[in-house]
Chain A
Amino acid sequence: MSLLQTRALTKLFGAHRAVDAVDFTVRAGELLALIGSNGAGKTTLVNLISGLLPADSGTILFGDRDVTRHSVHERIEAGIARSFQLVNLFDQLSVADNVALTIFARQGKTAHLWSVADRDSAVADEAMQVLRQFGLASRARMVAAGLSQGERKLLDVAVAYALRPTLLFLDEPTSGVSTREKAPIMDVVTSVVRQEHITAVVIEHDMDIVFTYSDRIVAMHQGAILAEGTPDEIRRNEHVTTTLIGSALPG
């Protein structure tokens, strides 16, 4: 069953068709990898679905709701969350507060002026629980700016996860970290996503990661979908291998 569907979704930057009449489907419960070379339109597609950019034409259906014209806020309420390729955190807040703030926002408590945030033990406990799931509990009191790059990537995902989304977009969760750190980050992220039955879309360049962790793969090229299928189907798809992966196909 499809959880999200785009129909002829299009975004132009000047004359350049960054996303060109894309019909993109995410099925409920799957971990989908979105692949493609730089400039293929992956991040733009996610930006359109998450509401960071307005679509020029086409529609976005989430469940049976048309969310094409919805604000970011409304999309989050509907259950769509995302992390960012370049880490996007609240750097001067503590690690725990980065997550706690998200929980306050989700519960509508950020509109409260008359209570002390640090005294809300239910939120603090939930924030610690989330940090434990992401292996960041020992860093809770640190300022977010003080984390290592790998930890920052994890916290970025943890902040999006704390919104308890139905559909989570992860924009290159392992970019900018050493090769050695990539698999541990993906292990943590995928185990949380699978445990909590969250549908996830991961934008990723590293083909080892893509083939190891995803249920299904969508390949993009020049703003359009080139191919989609299981990891095995994509691996055997000559069109994809010649266009995107070249000879560096693993396994």
Chain B
Amino acid sequence: MSPVRRPGLLSRLELGSAVVAALGLLAVPLVAPPFQTITVCYGLVFAVAALGFNLLLGSTGLLSFGHSAFFGVGAYVAALLVKYLGWTSMEAFLLAGVVCAALVAAVFGAVCVRYTRIFFGILTLALSQVLWSLALKLFWVTGGTDGLRVPTPTLVAGALAPTSDKMDFLAYRYYYYVLAVFAVAVAVMWLVVHSPFGKALQAIRDNETRAEFVGIQVRRYRWVAFVVSGAFTGLAGTLWVPLNGLTTPDILYWPFSGRIVFFVVLGGFKTFWGPVVGALAYNYLETYAVGFTVYWQLVLGLVLVLLVLTMPQGLAGTVDALVRRLRRPALT
């Protein structure tokens, strides 16, 4: 008999919070106006991108400044399928987006995982900017700065066709579609992070040399993490494009990579839920900062500085620490 009680898959508190959050997200289109629902929908899409990004930062200890590349690949693949093949099925877009983002990540990753720290960050940045310049220069394919339009797709193998009211379609059918994909993405990422593979990544993050000396092939594992991370962010890019209706080189440009970093810093990269909380919170912050002042970037910059100074663990990390502190006396 083991004297140590094994922890459950999720603590009661985590499970309770997840159920409340899930019910809240399910209720959004029923209680909120379409604009609000679409804002949350954007937040969920960004959350998927942030979850992918954080497999590298939180679990593996690698800070990528080039995740716009995978988001952009996901979006452009859908747009090109519409332009050249006339496809309309969202499932086909998602499959193609994930596969292509994973392939690009496999190539980029083969170069980047040879390095760590700032060298890794700079390489991801440089490679992502190659894609940005291609999207800009190959305008006869990509539409250049005008980008490519993507009409609303059909959902669930054509069972849910676009309605005449686009806003209505996005705020109901598409919202629930994104919510379902988000739920699957969260479940898959949870499993990856808590798998033996996820533990190996944490070991590499903590101590690369020792990880090598317990038999983990460090570079190969980093590469796999890079590919999984890129695939997730690509999935988010494909989900994003029908919401936006258009993809432009902006989402391949480095400030968008910076925005993904912001999501995760805001939410907290040391907790599983941090990226989700951060992406949803950032999206609201930006939406309201833009509505409130033309100097919205200044507002976001101030928030980031304040956050790093006062809550370096991010929103979810701070809540997590508070809960632990409140629960500790009850345990002893």
Residues of A with Cβ closer than 8 Å to B?
50, 52, 72-73, 76-77, 81-82, 84, 88-93, 96-97, 100-102, 104-106, 109-121, 124-125, 128, 137, 140-141, 159-160, 162-163
Contacts and interface: CB of A to CB of B under 8 A. Distances in A.
B206 A92 contact: yes
Ranked nearest first, the 6 interchain pairs of A and B with the lowest CB-CB distance are A110-B200, A90-B206, A104-B196, A88-B210, A76-B215, A105-B215
Interface string B208-232: 0111111111000100000010000
9 contacts: A91-B207, A101-B200, A112-B195, A113-B192, A116-B9, A117-B199, A124-B6, A140-B4, A159-B214
B199 A104 contact: yes
A121 B197 CA distance: 16
Nearest to B205: A92
Given A88-B207, A91-B207, A101-B203, A72 B197 contact: no
A102 B2 contact: no
Contacts of B3: 128, 137
B202 interface: yes
Contact of A128 (B2, B209, B210): B2
B202 A92 contact: yes
Contacts of B215: 72-73, 76-77, 102, 105-106, 163
A91 to B, nearest CB: 5
Contacts of A90: 202-203, 206-207, 210-211
Q: Is the interface of B mostly helix, strand, loop or mixed?
A: helix
Contacts of A104: 196, 199-200
Contacts, number: 116
Contacts of B212: 72-73
B191 interface: yes
A88 B164 CA distance: 62
Interface in B1-32: 2-4, 6-7, 9
B83 interface: no
A114 B207 contact: no
B166 interface: no
Contacts of A115: 191, 195-196
Contacts of B214: 76, 101-102, 105-106, 159-160, 162-163
B194 interface: yes
Contact of A141 (B4, B191, B207): B4
B198 interface: yes
Contact of A97 (B9, B199, B210): B199
A239 B221 CA distance: 50
Contact of B217 (A50, A73, A109, A113): A73
Contacts of A120: 196
B213 A117 contact: no
Contacts of B198: 113, 117
Contacts of A137: 3-4
Nearest to A115: B195
B206 A112 contact: no
A10 B212 CA distance: 23
A105 B211 CA distance: 9
A137 B4 CA distance: 9
B325 to A, nearest CB: 16
A40 B194 CA distance: 44
B250 to A, nearest CB: 33
Given A102-B215, A117-B198, A160-B214, 8 more contacts: A73-B215, A73-B216, A90-B207, A92-B202, A105-B200, A110-B197, A110-B221, A119-B9
